[in-house]
């Protein structure tokens, strides 16, 4: 049975004071008890990793893990502005996002680069969350499955059976930060396509890989989304900024 996983992605939001309030609110509620067999994480911006990691460690009874929003494909060296997987591991990160649609779109990240980043994460004992998804134009032209399969294919080619230690996040680009959300059935259909594609490579890998949905997940649609057989949780953007909304989604 794949555990339900809920990861909050703060994107370029947060402050030292606000982060402390958020983590105290979430951890205090989680320490009172959460549904069994689930995993939870939060990905703040790089400058806040030390603060958030320390706060999470101080409330060790809460099942909340630290994550990062990106990583370099390089191990070390003259790469100004980059952050390595080794550094993230030292900060106590459990999860690392790679290939988020905003990175692919704004910084022209290729499927090859995304897979190389995922390898760095795996090599340093963390779990990559590999993001895939289609734009509105690609869906409207009937190419959604083709596009997503192409993105997944590169990960399979490079990561091979190490995908079993990864998470995949299907995030339709047209539903990120727009208020639009794929219906539970549309999301399930794409998640099923991804799992069937993984099964073409290795049925055991396909059965173990958690596939999260990302795209305007809210407390009022999370229950229906998470009930789908191939949806194994959510990558939560805007709603994760509010601790009570995040907690409601975690309980969905």
Do 197 and 211 contact (CB within 8 A), yes or no?
no
Active site residue 171: yes
Region label for 104, one of left (φ > 0), alpha (ψ between -120 and 50) or beta (otherwise): alpha
The rounded distance, in Å, linking the Cα atoms of 155 and 79 is 24
Q: How far is residue 90 from each of residues 82, 83, 94, measured CA to CA in Å? A: 15, 12, 10
DSSP 201: H
From 100, 109, 124, 134, active-site residue: 100
From 109, 138, 171, 245, active-site residue: 171
Active site residue 100: yes
Q: Which residues pair with 66 in a beta bridge?
A: 42
How many CB atoms neighbour CB 221 within 10 A? Answer: 19
CA-based nearest residue to 154, from 138, 132, 171, 136: 132
Active centre residues (catalytic): 100, 171
């Amino acid at each position: 049975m794949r555990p339900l996983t809920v990861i909050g992605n703060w994107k370029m939001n947060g402050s030292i004071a606000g982060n402390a309030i958020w983590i105290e609110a979430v951890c205090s509620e989680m320490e009172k008890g959460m549904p069994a067999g689930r995993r939870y994480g939060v990905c703040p911006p790089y400058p806040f990793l030390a603060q958030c990691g320390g706060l999470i460690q101080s409330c060790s009874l809460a099942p909340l893990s630290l994550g990062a929003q990106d990583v370099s494909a390089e191990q070390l060296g003259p790469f100004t502005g980059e952050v390595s997987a080794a550094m993230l591991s030292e900060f106590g990160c459990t999860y690392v996002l790679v290939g988020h649609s905003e990175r692919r779109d704004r910084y022209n990240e290729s499927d090859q680069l995304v897979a190389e980043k995922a390898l760095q994460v795996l090599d340093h004992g963390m779990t990559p969350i590999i993001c895939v998804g289609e734009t509105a134009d690609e869906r409207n032209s009937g190419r959604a499955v083709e596009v997503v399969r192409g993105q997944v294919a590169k990960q399979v080619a490079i990561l091979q059976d190490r995908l079993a230690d990864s998470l995949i996040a299907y995030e339709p680009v047209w539903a990120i930060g727009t208020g639009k959300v794929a219906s539970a059935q549309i999301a399930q259909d794409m998640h099923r396509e991804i799992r069937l594609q993984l099964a073409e490579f290795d049925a055991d890998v396909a059965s173990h890989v958690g596939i999260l949905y990302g795209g305007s997940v809210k407390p009022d649609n999370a229950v229906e989304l998470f009930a789908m057989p191939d949806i194994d949780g959510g990558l939560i953007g805007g709603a994760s900024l509010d601790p009570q909304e995040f907690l409601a989604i975690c309980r969905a």
